[in-house]
Amino acid sequence: MRLSGKPKTMIPKGVATFLPEGTSRRRAIERTILSIFSQWGYQEVITPIFEYLDVFSLGVGEELLNRAYKFVDRATGRIMVLRPDVTPQIARIAATLLNGQPLPLRLCYSANVFRHEEEHAGREREIFQIGGELIGASDAEADAEMIILAIEVLQKLGLRSFKIALGQMAFTRGVLRPFEPSPELFKKVLHSVGKKEASKLEELLKQEKVGPKVRKQVLSLLNLFGGEEVFKRAATLSDHPSCRDGLKRLKEVYTILKRAGHQDHLLIDLGEVRGFDYYTGTIFEVFTEGVGSELGGGGRYDHLLEKFGAPSASTGFALHIERVQWALEKVFNSPGDGAAARGDVEYSSVDFLILHPETAAQRAMALTHQLRNLGFRVIRKNGYEKGIDSYLANARKQHIRKILVVGEGKDPDPNKIGPSAEDYGAPLGGRNVNHGASLRSIDVRTGLEKIEKHQDFLERLRPN
């Protein structure tokens, strides 16, 4: 199909249209991730795509709320917001609709969120996320569960080369506490720490006449990045209880992760300040080569549910599905065993295209019915006469795996070809196919052909 003239439709920057092949791969990723969540005991929930602003704003910070898309409800005049994050919705659900349920709650979701980005920023405005939340568990095992779950998801998808950067917001907050009385200065310091701008940060601290001890502590945050040796350096930085307790907790989490055999994926970054007003303890981000931004992240947010009237310790994470898909495509399109690790196969839209003349319509319909009952994707084309080349060319363009040609020759007993009405529900091996008749199968990719009896063909497809 070709469209004449120039396209008359455009979509805004920052959103995307996914064509069949990309959508198929996206859904496969989603199914894999959600199945892993289910194996870990997480139950899926579906949240509204928009909510009342005054309710939703209880659970998000000012920065994220400023990037949210808002509109007026025509029925009530109240301001609505397209969800910029799912976690506040999960917190509201846990604090209200699931209040009274035994803790901990393990909930997961797959949803799109919407955040304004300047057009020149080149970032998505519609973000597809899959995440999980563990509500009502406050120990190091809960923090580690989130990280191990994220690692298992990435490994089962086929990613092997990735890093988890661990941080500890209680520790970082303890180091930066001297600046909290001055919000404007605190904001500048936080920005420079987050950007790892050492020279700019040092200049700012000198300009504000910050004392040498505090100045050294803050600048040292930028160097607390690396492996397990970071713990020893961090221990001497500050004796504030928040720093001491935060570092102790992170060590506990790190020990659990090492015990699980994941130390090769781990980094420590105690200068991470992402979500400073939101996270309260252990945090983490996921990175891999070839993708310019993090694949996802999460952490502990113990104060969120109390904003909805039900205080509870909580932790969670989310993965950015589009970036995960980009990372997988880079692995599978490069040499090596990346694709084999996931069992990735060439995309197909349909398993079988059944071609047949009018005289074999009933047998072809019965075969179509049986193949679909076995779980295969099948389309049927009546009116086939001779000449497979044109069908083969189109099948390749349409990503069809195999062509089955039915009724080319004379059947052994033409009176037994067609099924009766009740035969359409008959099990495999019933009377609805003449098992003595033959069919021709053609592998669309290679063009190789095989002629075999219906019975042999169906028996080969039967699940063991």
Span 306-320, average pLDDT: 96
Strand partners, 129: 111, 320
CATH fit for domain 350-461, picks 3.40.50.800, 3.40.630.180, 3.90.1150.220, 3.50.30.30 = 3.40.50.800
Question: Are the C-beta atoms of residues 231 and 243 closer than 8 Å to each other?
Answer: no
Place of tokens 């020149």: 120
Does residue 69 have a pLDDT over 60? Answer: yes
Question: Are the C-beta atoms of residues 64 and 83 closer than 8 Å to each other?
Answer: no
C-alpha closest to that of 167 among 275, 256, 239: 275
Lowest mean pLDDT among 187-201, 325-339, 347-361, 423-437: 423-437
Give the model's confidence band at 56: pLDDT under 50 very low, under 70 low, under 90 confident, else very high: very high
Give the model's confidence band at 11: pLDDT under 50 very low, under 70 low, under 90 confident, else very high: confident
pLDDT value at residue 121? 55
- Residue pLDDT, tens place only, 156-183: 999 989 999 999 999 999 999 999 889 8
**Is residue 104 reached through a cis peptide bond, with omega within 30 degrees of 0 on the bond before it?**
yes
**Residue 158, both tokens:** 């086929």
pLDDT value at residue 342? 43
Give the model's confidence band at 427: pLDDT under 50 very low, under 70 low, under 90 confident, else very high: very low
Lowest mean pLDDT among 105-109, 142-146, 447-451: 447-451
Does residue 221 have a pLDDT over 50? Answer: yes
- How many angstroms from the chain centroid is the CA of residue 47? 16
Q: How far is CA 332 from CA 24, 286, 329, in A?
A: 15, 19, 5
pLDDT value at residue 4? 55
Higher pLDDT, 242 or 428: 242
User: Exposed e or buried b for every residue in 71-110, given b needs 16+ CB within 10 A?
Assistant: eeeeeeeeebbbbbbbbbbbbbbbbeebeeeeebbbbbbb
Give the model's confidence band at 59: pLDDT under 50 very low, under 70 low, under 90 confident, else very high: confident
Does residue 94 have a pLDDT over 90? Answer: yes
C-alpha closest to that of 283 among 431, 167, 419: 167
Does residue 425 have a pLDDT over 70? Answer: no
| End-to-end Cα distance, the chain | 41
Q: How many CB atoms lie within 10 A of CB 238?
A: 19
Does residue 263 have a pLDDT over 50? Answer: yes
Q: How many CB atoms lie within 10 A of CB 285?
A: 22
Place of tokens 């990613």: 159
Backbone angles phi, psi at 383, to 5 degrees: 100, 10
Taking the CA atoms of 53, 59, 63 and 68 in sequence, report the sign of the dihedral they define.
negative
Instruction: Please give the CATH topology (third level) of the domain spanning 16-161+290-347.
Output: BirA Bifunctional Protein; domain 2 (3.30.930)
User: What CATH class does 164-288 carry?
Assistant: alpha beta
pLDDT value at residue 262? 97
Where does CATH 3.30.930.10 sit in the chain? 16-161+290-347, 164-288
Give the model's confidence band at 6: pLDDT under 50 very low, under 70 low, under 90 confident, else very high: low
Where does CATH 3.40.50.800 sit in the chain? 350-461
Q: Percentage of the chain with pLDDT > 90? A: 72
Q: How many CB atoms lie within 10 A of CB 329?
A: 14
pLDDT value at residue 54? 93
The DSSP 8-state label assigned to residue 178 in this structure reads: G
